[in-house]
Structure 1
Amino acid sequence: MAPFALPFITGFLLSAALIMAIGAQNLFVLRQGLRREHVGAIVLFCGAADALLITAGVAGMGAFLAAIPKLTALLALGGAAFLGWHGITALRRAATVSEAMVIADAAGVTLSRALAATAGFTLLNPHVYLDTVLLMGAAGSAQPAALRPLFVAGAATASLLWFTALGYGAGLLRPVFARPAAWRALDAFVGVVMLALAASLVVRAFSATA
């Protein structure tokens, strides 16, 4: 194996392992993929945001954030409020969805609202900074300076491939989600996960300031 290939593979595998965990961002991309709403724009936004955050982490932003626990706590509380609101909204959808609710529902969100929500799930989630910036930043910084761009490229590639597969691969589940019961189950799952994540962020915020 060529020496320059190892940093790329390391970044790719570490990014893939972190990003595939169930989280608010992944669930949002999945839901938009099922509805076929602005999938390309959302995938590009998520991939570009991860690339920028990984680059920032490797460049030293991760060490900066680690030195300011109060900032991490504020990010956690803001993220908890955002995820809590979306969790309650998802549970309300699960309770009120009717037989008229189908994937092709015309009452979709606009591109600007979809991107705003994507930005929220991406940038208001402290887990993004803890994993993408701090952990990826530490791993990338351990690479020789000349090889760090390859680590970033590998990590960014894994992120873009994952979101592309998640957003466009969701179409394979469209026959299942032609039934309102499937949407109710998905929204209930999304709501519970987001509220659980919000609770974990509140705990993290108070532990960071203790």
Structure 2
Amino acid sequence: MTNALPTFITGFAMSAALIMAIGAQNLFVLRQGLKREHVGPIVLFCGGVDAILIAAGVGGVGALLGAMPQLTLLLSIGGALFLGWYGLRAFQRMMAPEAITVTAQGGITLGRAIGATAAFTLLNPHVYLDTVLLMGAAGSAQPAALRPIFVLGAASASIGWFAALGYGARLLTPLFERPAAWRVLDAVVGIVMLTLAALLIARAFP
């Protein structure tokens, strides 16, 4: 098992590079971290789904998905609709007259939080391109005995990142005690969500 550590590092580094980009899922985790709502379950869900998808890709599911362009089209349409709706909600929150603070937030239930997390995660076609196809191809290139080590490294990066994002957000609490900071965040969220929705539609119907 002398190659276990390099294999672990390869999986960790590839996963970290793919998940650290600013996107819908990361912004949602950040916002929930700032609100301190259901952070643990959200982190576990994001990391767990990534681990399952990466393991599935390494196991050969990626080749099956690559042969189903209709699925990608349906995911793109569904993802665009959800992102568009969430982006408009963010702008609605931004325009709300009432003060917004870390401690005075309209909370959501655990079920709704996990439901939103699932939508951000599973309705994004890129999660399948990145975790199932790309990570799957890289993991499949490893010797069979080392593939679980690759998956472990990739999953560790995912869980570590979402934990840092969700729990580290509280370090920004002094900034987000001001309602203006929440409005700026919601403006960024709205712009990113609507932009991603437009990109998904553009790629679905070139």
TM bucket by the smaller chain?
over 0.9
Partners of 1:20 and 1:136 in 2: CA distance: 15
Deviation of 1:61 after TM superposition, in Å, equals: 1.4
Deviation of 1:97 after TM superposition, in Å, equals: 4.6
Give the stretch that moved more between structures: 184-193 or 198-207: 198-207
| Conserved? CA contact 1:97–1:184, under 8 Å | no
For structure 1, the residue ranges without an aligned partner over 5 or more in a row are none
- Detail structure 1 runs of 4+ shifted over 2 Å in the superposition: none
Q: CA RMSD in A?
A: 1.2
For structure 2, the residue ranges without an aligned partner over 5 or more in a row are none
* 1:121 alignment partner in structure 2: 120
TM-score (norm 1): 0.95
| Conserved? CA contact 1:79–1:125, under 8 Å | yes
SS class of match (1:37): coil
1:36 maps to amino acid? R
Partners of 1:86 and 1:30 in 2: CA distance: 15
What is the aligned-residue identity percentage?
Answer: 68
Partners of 2:36 and 2:80 in 1: CA distance: 27
> What count of residue pairs does the alignment treat as equivalent?
206
Deviation of 1:183 after TM superposition, in Å, equals: 0.3
* 1:192 alignment partner in structure 2: 191
Deviation of 1:62 after TM superposition, in Å, equals: 1.1
Deviation of 1:145 after TM superposition, in Å, equals: 1.2
* Shift in CA distance, 55/61, structure 1 to aligned 2, threshold 3 Å: same
* 2:157 alignment partner in structure 1: 158
* 1:178 alignment partner in structure 2: 177
TM-score (norm 2): 0.97
* Shift in CA distance, 206/106, structure 1 to aligned 2, threshold 3 Å: closer
1:48-127 matches, cutoff 5 A: 48-99=48-99, 101-105=100-104, 107-127=106-126
Deviation of 1:106 after TM superposition, in Å, equals: 5.0
Partners of 1:132 and 1:106 in 2: CA distance: 33
